[in-house]
Chains A and B, each alone.
Chain A
């Protein structure tokens, strides 16, 4: 098997690396997080110019026609730098849903704006009682004539406070956890009845709680057929799950490298702690975890790019997220432990990498959830 990067992948990787080196050091990142929007609009425009925002989209829609393997190459570099710009919610999830479900008109209207960097999206799927089950949707959508009224509350909406449009997952029919009856609607954040409570996540990304009170949209704001969005939603979130896993792989790699470096400098009892065999073995284990995580994420990306059955793809995604979750806890905790007190301070990037991977561990379902999903599929 050939795992080497294609020329295009190499260019993408170098392009992200160059940007991070030039414009995304730790202090700059902290300033971006502290800013009102919590991401840099200037960076976003640059991403558009560099073509990064076109990567997941089909060539016929004006995109780069990138594979999932192309995406994980970028995501890994984003993870190393702990990027906070909303690439996943806008392009991978928002853009992914429009690509998968949207009509020709919807695609023509929205996809170019995403790729130009002039449209920010969020997707509201999670609810207080849904945990990670995408079918579990209480938010209701009631069709009256040619308009739809939405009611309900959503949590953990990534990029919710900066999006101009939110893709709201709502139930048109069926019981709370039924697979049928789930639709996705494009809702303007300015629409009457939409209230948004913004906050910053532990890993520096912006998110929001969103409540919808008698929000009325045209029936044409629905993506795809009525009540039939779940399969596509799951496939898009699966793709985002592989992206999050790749992001974690990058961040873990960074943690490992920083930990090894620190162990060569930090002295205890007059010698560098990196010379202690007890710690050497633990760093060797961290390395093993990073490598296994990387392998299973590549496997998942290749499966998604393949022509295999949908169930095999879903299993590969859950396998990756489950295994990466295990690595996240091990690598994150050991990195802090080996750094000691300094690793726990806000001042050092190590703790922030730990927080980023902890958030990624929960994103789109934690390890146990995906282990159970793997077993059930």
Chain B
């Protein structure tokens, strides 16, 4: 028998109205504009773009506002919106070597062509709360250093000259799989894993990356290079017959360099983990690169002994929209399921107590 239960419409309507009220808060305080969110909470917006897997600052800022700053909720909103848009195709691969660099550091080499460029970093701040930001004091512009532009050479290219680091390999030409269109089946190609990691939850990947450093999957990484900046996007238009520049996006790229003693398949050399994320998302790009390297265990002939090396574990659980959907669905009414389980537990309890009554007289006699 199926019994439809109705009701709750008024409660839901009023709850949503109350949500809107609480979101707006004190009407005497000016409402946030999207420009303020995109400009002044830029890294929150970047995280929402990266994990929402949709590069659009204004939409991400709107999502942050609508979600009252709950970033996973904002990511959910952006993913939902993304499903409503037509897909026009694929870009040409981004050339991160041609980036307009806003930050580039390497922990491997002190002196390198292009230099160590700190950019707008939290590093070396003392992490002391700045009471001066409680207000709108004027802020100085960044300093300028004139001089000819110097090419910011990729660290991987510098190391490659000695042959002690693995190369990027050649493209197979098959075209990478797309997790948007193909049901995930393990083992996944590295390209499809990277697609999944690039939109994966920062906290989850950070914890897994951290675990690899602490000994869960042997890993001895160096931050070979981290670079942040804008890259040109080109899209091939069949009606024109050539790739058209459509604008620029900001990305963060991380090259982790890992010591590798070699295996039956590979000589001793440095191997690499790779991270590439929308926006200024340094921690995420680093965590992604650590996880990418750990997930290459099978390819490099390493024993799979820890969760970060387990494709199915990492890829199946790194998407926070899927994760929050399944965890939060527990809030939905499960009245009938629970009634069924309640009946089952009552019956088991009755059987247990009946058995106990049979056993008890025997026990008393023995005493």
Query: Do the two chains bind?
Result: no
Interface residues, chain B, with chain A CB atoms under 8 Å away: none
Interface residues, chain A, with chain B CB atoms under 8 Å away: none
